[in-house]
Structure 1
């Protein structure tokens, strides 16, 4: 498993992450099998959020209940969670009170004294950077959170937070896959007036901004496309050409197609972490094989073209 820096935190983390969004209906044995497959593959980073699954903090609770980690084993892994979404609205709340209470709820659910990373989950249009800064200061000084980041934020939204927040923003978790890659593809079509691909959708140069500022990109929904209902693109008839190229590369490298989907993301020099959403242990194993596959430039761009993007 290849590792990448987590922003400026000093941590070295795997470039494939186990997402825990869909585990709250799993048995103890199923959660343990998923966890063990992740650890066996070299994944020691587990992604959570307060709103995941059926009720507030329920996926975090399921994780802790099923695993009953010892103190020594807890120290071996990285736990990341998110806060800021109020699902019953729905609306967003980056106030001091909401962020602190959400983290405290996550700590209780996860049965831990701290989380390694806290992400602000989708932007709050009513954000007051001073409120976020006060929450971050309290959470850091109390030892409850060790590093901070964001999710789905544009460069300028991050800059606004940084007018008050003194902690480094170490990560930005955004949607990215071969078949949903506007943050990568728009730069390829720069200055092409008639190409819709060149439209700036993220405030401009999100990937480049994160590289310049030392912020690790985390890719959520790495298997999701936009055609045919927006489901998984692997094996989907709407992505026949993309799947043909993926299958060819999978045969060439001796891996499952899932590994190629992961390898396309991890090949990028930004040092992206891929956040898996599967709850099937074998698929975690297959996906993790993509961590180290050294796709050539020709192979990487062939996948971009096969996904339907312009490579001028």
Structure 2
């Protein structure tokens, strides 16, 4: 088991009555305080991977890199990554960090093709960085669609599931992600052990390339050029 957590966002809430707006803070003091809080919350001596939650318009990669080095030397964090970063934003940070960043957690699903189209996945492949996929089921839209697009994609997934003799839609969706050459790691947003077991069993499936594209084209909403 690996422990992965994020840092960097300051939310507005009753807990922070003097905070007027939500904003991002990647100062050394705030990153360290977030790590200390995570260690306490998780009752552990170290974190396997620390992620920066979102890119910020106010971001000092040199200060962040120095903070990473401090946390590494103190044994509190083993590896680092980012979340929702675009290639140039990741490059900017990587230019200052000692160790390579190990992941970029981005939204990827048969419903959300953003990072196929903006070349983020191509970039991650080129750097041998494995992406993590948050919201792999599109927040439930792929299981209980509320949009025409969601219905269209679900119908394509059901067609592939029938061809694979697989009654579980979740497994087909996870297999679609796992098949991609960027080595996508789905983030399973559940505390139910059966849902987790279902996700693991998707490793035993193998859809064809044509079936993969049937789902992709359904999300795209048009034929490939």
Is TM (by shorter chain) over 0.5?
A: yes
Distance 1:241 1:132 in 2: 43
Partner of 1:177: 109
Distance 1:100 1:85 in 2: 13
TM-score (norm 2): 0.89
Runs of 4+ in 1 over 3 A off after TM superposition: none
The answer as to 2:171 corresponding to 1:259 is yes
The answer as to 2:9 corresponding to 1:85 is yes
Matched length:
213
What SS does the corresponding residue of 1:169 show, helix, strand or coil? Answer: coil
Q: State whether residues 122 and 151 of structure 1, in contact with CA within 8 Å, keep that contact through their aligned partners in structure 2.
A: yes
Give the alignment of 1:213-232 within 5 angstroms.
Answer: 213-224=127-138, 231-232=140-141
Q: Which moved more, 1:130-139 or 1:160-169?
A: 160-169
Partner of 2:15: none
The answer as to 2:80 corresponding to 1:148 is yes
Partner of 1:96: 28
Q: State whether residues 124 and 130 of structure 2, in contact with CA within 8 Å, keep that contact through their aligned partners in structure 1.
A: yes
Distance 2:159 2:221 in 1: 19
What SS does the corresponding residue of 1:269 show, helix, strand or coil? Answer: coil
Query: Displacement, 1:254?
Result: 2.5
The answer as to 2:41 corresponding to 1:109 is yes
Q: State whether residues 79 and 116 of structure 1, in contact with CA within 8 Å, keep that contact through their aligned partners in structure 2.
A: yes
Partner of 1:163: 95
RMSD between aligned residues? 1.6
Distance 1:221 1:297 in 2: 23
Give deviations 1:39-91, integer Å, cap 9, x for gaps.
Answer: xxxxxxxxxxxxxxxxxxxxxxxxxxxxxxxxxxxxxx110011111112311
Partner of 1:245: 156
Distance 1:162 1:240 in 2: 40
What SS does the corresponding residue of 1:99 show, helix, strand or coil? Answer: helix
Query: Displacement, 1:290?
Result: 1.9
TM-score (norm 1): 0.65
Describe the shift of the 1:285–1:255 C-alpha distance in structure 2 as closer, same or farther (beyond 3 A): farther
Point out where structure 2 has 5 or more consecutive residues left out of the alignment.
13-20
Distance 2:84 2:4 in 1: 15
Query: Displacement, 1:273?
Result: 0.1
Partner of 2:70: 138
Give the alignment of 1:178-217 within 5 angstroms.
Answer: 178-184=110-116, 186=117, 200=118, 205-217=119-131
Query: Displacement, 1:255?
Result: 4.2
Point out where structure 1 has 5 or more consecutive residues left out of the alignment.
1-76, 187-199, 226-230
Q: State whether residues 142 and 151 of structure 2, in contact with CA within 8 Å, keep that contact through their aligned partners in structure 1.
A: no
